Amino acid sequence: MSQQFEDAFGSVYYITLGCAKNEVDTDRMRSLLLAAGYEVAYDVSEANLAIVNTCSFLASATEESIEATLALAEEVADGVRSVPIVMCGCVPSRYGDDLPGELPEVAAFVRTDEEDGIVAVVDRLLGVSRSAPAFVPDVKRTVEGSVAYVKISDGCDRFCSFCAIPYIRGRYHSRPAERILAEVRDLVDSGVREIVLIGQDTGIWGEDLPQEGEGPHNLAQLLVAVAGAVRPERVWIRVLYLQPEGMTDELIAAIRDTPEVLPYIDIPVQHCNARVLSAMNRSGSEAELDALFERLRREIPGMIIRTTYLVGFPGETLDDHEQMLAFMDRTGFDYTSVFAFSPEDGTRAARMEGQLDEDEKLERTQTAIDLAESLGFAATASHVGETAEVIVDGIEETDEGPELIGHAWFQAPDSDGAVHLDATEAAVGDIVTVEFTDSFCYELIGHVIG
């Protein structure tokens, strides 16, 4: 029996876990459901259905996703009406066949490659019947805020020995340039002031697309095209998740010579020891990485660099660890994410000899975190006294009253800290000129001067 709701088919509550790519996927599903006549619920007690978009990059992320789902189910069970729960994303993609028996609290499981069919899933669970399919493939995204992540690719072909992403999201595939550019234009028209291009391996964008005809055909050309698409609006463009091999001459020139593209690069090196990198199924060496980062800073003035260190990989010796610490210190990364190796189901590294015990991994991880924070805090403090543009992201309630929060061009949103502003008259989405007066950890305090 079909069920009807006043003014809309019903309302949907969303929980998103994991990385920015999941944020994009949730936003896409939300946009599809809005176009299909569903509303957004901001509390599960007001919802007719709940969607949990999960992460399964690490075992700890999988556990967090399942715990969040069970906590939601418990909250729903205490409510007045039944609220079906749909688990989407990486956990169903990785463990889909096993989940229905393990999680009877969940009404449906949707893999990452099935998310464009979310309307049909929700219709079925809520008993909504339609005279025609509601799926709208080119529906516009509905981003709340001044920053929007735009996926330019999905999947991965690298098969690093420690990583399950290729088994979760499949082989690498680039999004066509025309779809990316159309989405960017729509987002800018809706008030977005920073476009963050993301993918598992953004540097090889376009290699799997036809190379004949008009471009863009690679990431460098895509950046130039995106910059053209945002003009004449004042919009920042940031690109994340580049691999060292992806830093071509053309890409370096595009970042340097395109004003809208920020001189900010996220390159997850994972390690610098050639033997460890080879065991990870990654290429490179300390000398090659030294040359790359020296060149980036020489050719792109003011370059900000973020990286990742995977600590305690099987066979990593204490000398290897010390080598990586010395490399981090010498390179002076602005931001470093540190992760302890986790033996993920289905990966080759989980079966390798030379697994380190947990105490040793934790000790090395803490040492790396201490160094990363020392470098990062110093890099943040170095901006005190400078003047730069800041995007206003929101308002935070403090003991002293409301405070505007934003981020500067050298801070990737949701990753690198924030700027606490002394003004209250600016609006979310404004780009203001700020003098940085103080810092604490990765945070900056700023005085709005324009």
Print burial letters for 280-296: b (CB count within 10 Å at least 16), e (below 16): bebebebeebeebbeeb
Instruction: Give yes or no for residue 396 having a pLDDT over 60.
Output: yes
Q: What is the pLDDT of residue 211?
A: 87
**Has residue 4 got a pLDDT over 80?**
no
184 versus 101: which is more confidently predicted? 184
Distance of CA 382 to CAs 99, 302, 371, Å?
49, 12, 17
CA nearest neighbour of 222 among 376, 233, 9, 242: 242
Residue closest to 166 by CA, chosen among 214, 213, 123, 112: 112
DSSP, collapsed to helix, strand or coil, labels residue 434 as: strand
pLDDT in tens, 198-215: 999 999 999 999 988 888
Burial 435-446 (b: 16+ CB within 10 A, else e): bbeebeebbbbb
Beta strands 173-174 and 153-154 are antiparallel
Could you tell me the two tokens for 360? 């040793």
pLDDT of the residue at 325: 98
205 three-class SS:
coil
Which positions ≥6 away from 186 have C-beta within 8 Å?
140, 141
Compute the distance between CA of residue 146 and CA of residue 394 in angstroms, rounded to an integer. 9
Q: What pLDDT, on a 0 to 100 scale, did the predictor assign at position 133?
A: 63
Structure tokens given for 408: 């500067």
Amino acid, single-letter form, for residue 44: V
Q: For residue 80, what pLDDT is reported?
A: 62
In this prediction, residue 1 carries a pLDDT of 31
Across 172-295, where does the E strand assignment appear? 173-174, 194-198, 236-239, 261-266
Q: Is the pLDDT of residue 419 over 60?
A: yes
Structure tokens at 271: 């390690």
Lowest mean pLDDT among 111-120, 148-157, 348-357, 423-432: 423-432
pLDDT band at 424 (very low <50, low <70, confident <90, very high): confident
Mind listing the domains of the chain with CATH numbers?
10-126 (3.40.50.12160), 147-381 (3.80.30.20), 387-448 (2.40.50.140)
pLDDT of residue 98: 84
Answer whether 308's CB lies under 8 Å from 270's CB: yes
Q: Which two tokens stand for residue 443?
A: 């945070």
* Residue 55 in marked binding region: yes
What pLDDT, in 10s, does the model give residues 18-72? 888 899 999 999 999 998 899 999 999 899 999 999 999 888 899 999 999 999 9
pLDDT band at 137 (very low <50, low <70, confident <90, very high): low
Bridge partners of residue 436, in order along the sequence: 446
Banded model confidence at residue 135, pLDDT cuts 50, 70, 90: low
88 is in an annotated binding site: no
> Mind listing the pLDDT tens digit for each residue in 222-232?
999 999 999 99
